[in-house]
Amino acid sequence: MTTTVNAAALALGDDALVLSHRLGEWAGYAPVLEEEVALANIALDLLGQARVLLSLVGDEDELAYLREERAFRNLQLVEQPNGDFAHTIARQLYFSVYQRLLYGRLAAGESEFAGLAAKAVKEVAYHQDHAEQWTERLGDGTAESHERMQRACDALWRFTGEMFQPVEGLDIDSQALQSSWLESVTAVLERATLTVPDGPRSGGWAAGAGRQGLHTESFGRMLAEMQHLHRSHPGASW
Amino acid sequence: MTAVTADAYEAVFDAAVAADERIEPRDWMPDAYRATLVRQMAQHAHSEIIGMQPEANWITRAPSLRRKAILMAKVQDEAGHGLYLYSAAETLGTSREELLDKLHAGRQRYSSIFNYPTLTWADVGAIGWLVDGAAITNQVPLCRCSYGPYARAMVRICKEESFHQRQGYELLLALSRGTSAQHEMAQDAVDRWWWPSLMMFGPPDDESSHSAQSMAWKIKRHSNDELRQRFVDICVPQAEALGLTLPDSDLRWNEERGHHDFGAIDWAEFQEVLKGNGPCNEQRISQRRQAHEEGAWVRDAAAAYATKHQAQHVKPGEATA
């Protein structure tokens, strides 16, 4: 495996690993039983993707449990704390639309990721559908849910530019990806009676930061929790 | 149609139960049979969803990605089991909302076992092996329960539970054969979960208030003590194979009975846990209430959206795959 392919597999694998972890935090706290099932289901799909991608690079557990914060290559978007249900849904919407477009392109290409992407894109289509339906229900539900959904979309908007920074090892037209993403997200937000946020999508610090191992503060605590047990028993198998 | 007396309905019901026929939602049934089933099925459903908490406590700390995936899948299955069981209970004329309200108000119970804390990773294995093992011992006979919807739910649930139990056993085996620290962690977990697991079969037969009637109605097929004995007999060789001991100095094979004798259960502790004074009763119910209360605006939004879009045959999302 070449270094550039490793870099791309780490970036995509870390996205899936970290978002899966955040969704796992919902277990036992979802607003309705059906969402316990759905959020766990999405988390499991993402964890499965992470395991395949990280295994392309090396030992999945070494990579997940023994790297420090600065060595993780995930987007800052996926490490954002869950917040309320609207916040989680906005994060899912932004990321699943990106991931579906990206994996759709990778599945159609001839890179090392084509096979993996072909399988994952089916799962991601479900994730996108789930996020879109909830965006619409919350956006076009009650006054309170509308406000919460708008606030969540606004709050996470500044982390979306990072998705369209070129990733080493991924032969993707980032500009085209970005315009397709904007088009899809705009359509969903409009159907949901929400306003497309107008803040910057690629502020100086946020742009490309996660991909370079520059993360937000909550990420270190997330890793501390995730890695603690594994690190407490060096060399043990589980 | 000729008027039929209640006695005649009851005779038809009794004959169906005696002939091992299934009672279905539209059949006549005694009020007390309906009430017992609602109580038992609700308690069972509540146990599935409260039971997510002690295990979910370790999802974010699972020590390998493989174990994390297994644990997430298990907790997801439990939510699914809760859904089946609430649906089965709804065939008796109640509703999920009503049952959840009763759980949150402390008017319906869940299994006492989930009031114990998960303090180490090995507890996830001990729950799989012992708690799911006890649940399966209790639930397999329910696959032949006289009430059709309950029996059918149990067939589906028992298949998944058996799978979870094997995974829990395998988790403990890996720890038992691992480093000495892992082995100790496994032994400590078994020491803490063994007696509470035996309590899952309920009070001794001479103190079990619902047993006789439930057995007559073929809701239950075996007494609490019979099932508890069966469980002990299954666990002893499994513990040996695991290389772990069970925390009971009175545990020994009784040739005459063809069963293992075992020590006295601390029924005072059991009663305290049932009364709400176990280590996690307060925490479990508070978290459940919190999730429900904090989710209210989401459920309200879904209902408002559904009302607004009821008239439309095509949902907006469907046009835009």
| Cα–Cα dist B205/B261, whole Å | 16
Instruction: Please identify which residue in the block is written with the tokens 């899912």.
Output: A92
Residues B65-98: b if buried by 16+ CB within 10 A, e if exposed? bebbbbbbbbbbbbbbbbbbbbebbbbbebebee
Do A21 and B317 lie within an 8 Å CB cutoff? no
| Cα–Cα dist A133/B93, whole Å | 31
Percent of chain B that is helix, strand, coil (3-state, to 5): 70, 0, 30
**Closest chain B residue to A40, measured at CA:** B76
pTM of the model: 0.95
Single out the residue of B158, B17, B155, B152 nearest to residue B89, CA to CA.
B152
Is the Cα torsion angle A14, A20, A23, A25 positive or negative in sign? negative
Mean pLDDT of the region A207-216: 85
Do A31 and B79 lie within an 8 Å CB cutoff? no
Q: Quick one: tokens of A95?
A: 């990321």
Dihedral angle of Cα A191, A192, A194, A195, to the nearest 10 degrees: -30
Question: Which chain B residues have a beta carbon less than 8 Å from that of A18?
Answer: none
| Cα–Cα dist B121/B127, whole Å | 10
Terminal Cα-to-Cα distance of chain A (whole angstroms): 27
Q: Nearest C-alpha of chain B: how many angstroms from A204?
A: 32
Is the Cα torsion angle B162, A126, A13, A9 positive or negative in sign? positive
Mean pLDDT of the region A9-18: 98
Single out the residue of A26, A123, A225 nearest to residue B56, CA to CA.
A26
Do A142 and B300 lie within an 8 Å CB cutoff? yes
**Closest chain A residue to B74, measured at CA:** A40
Do B302 and A141 lie within an 8 Å CB cutoff? yes
Q: How many helices (H) and strands (E) does chain A have?
A: 9, 0
B62: left (phi over 0), alpha (psi -120 to 50) or beta: beta
Question: Which chain A residues have a beta carbon less than 8 Å from that of B181?
Answer: 233, 236
Q: Nearest C-alpha of chain A: how many angstroms from B20?
A: 34
Dihedral angle of Cα B120, B126, B127, B133, to the nearest 10 degrees: 180
Q: Which of A35, A145, A226 is facing B61, going by the closest CB pair?
A: A226
Q: Which of A61, A191, A226 is facing B316, going by the closest CB pair?
A: A191
What mean pLDDT, rounded, does chain A reach? Answer: 95
Amino acid at A57: V
Question: Which chain B residues have a beta carbon less than 8 Å from that of A234?
Answer: none
| Cα–Cα dist B232/A44, whole Å | 35
The answer to whether residues B288 and B104 touch, using CB atoms and an 8 Å cutoff, is: yes
The answer to whether residues B36 and B219 touch, using CB atoms and an 8 Å cutoff, is: yes
Do A48 and B69 lie within an 8 Å CB cutoff? yes
Q: Which of A32, A37, A236 is facing B182, going by the closest CB pair?
A: A236
Question: Which chain A residues have a beta carbon less than 8 Å from that of B59?
Answer: 24-25, 27
State the CATH class of domain A7-232.
Answer: mainly alpha
**pLDDT at A13 > cutoff 60:** yes
**pLDDT at A31 > cutoff 60:** yes
The answer to whether residues B206 and B224 touch, using CB atoms and an 8 Å cutoff, is: no
Do A132 and B290 lie within an 8 Å CB cutoff? no
Residue B129 has φ and ψ, to the nearest 5°, of -70, -55
Single out the residue of A40, A17, A21 nearest to residue A29, CA to CA.
A40
The answer to whether residues B218 and B17 touch, using CB atoms and an 8 Å cutoff, is: yes
Q: Quick one: tokens of B212?
A: 């006789």
**For position B321, what pLDDT does the model report?**
42
ipTM of the complex: 0.97
| Cα–Cα dist A65/A231, whole Å | 7
Question: Which chain A residues have a beta carbon less than 8 Å from that of B296?
Answer: 31
Mean pLDDT of the region A116-144: 97
Do B53 and A28 lie within an 8 Å CB cutoff? yes
**Closest chain B residue to A26, measured at CA:** B56
| Beta-carbon contacts below 8 Å between A and B | 159
Single out the residue of B21, B9, B12, B39 nearest to residue B213, CA to CA.
B39
Mean pLDDT, consecutive 10-residue segments, chain B of 321 residues?
74 95 96 96 97 98 98 97 97 97 96 97 98 96 96 95 96 98 98 98 89 92 96 98 98 98 97 95 97 98 96 57 42
DSSP string, B221-238: -S-HHHHHHHHHHHHHHH
Is the Cα torsion angle A54, A59, A61, A62 positive or negative in sign? negative
* DSSP 8-class letter at A171: -
Instruction: Please identify which residue in the block is written with the tokens 């972890």.
Output: A21
Residue B243 has φ and ψ, to the nearest 5°, of 80, 30
Single out the residue of A150, A128, A154 nearest to residue A141, CA to CA.
A150
CA A66-A70-A76 angle, to 5 degrees, is 110
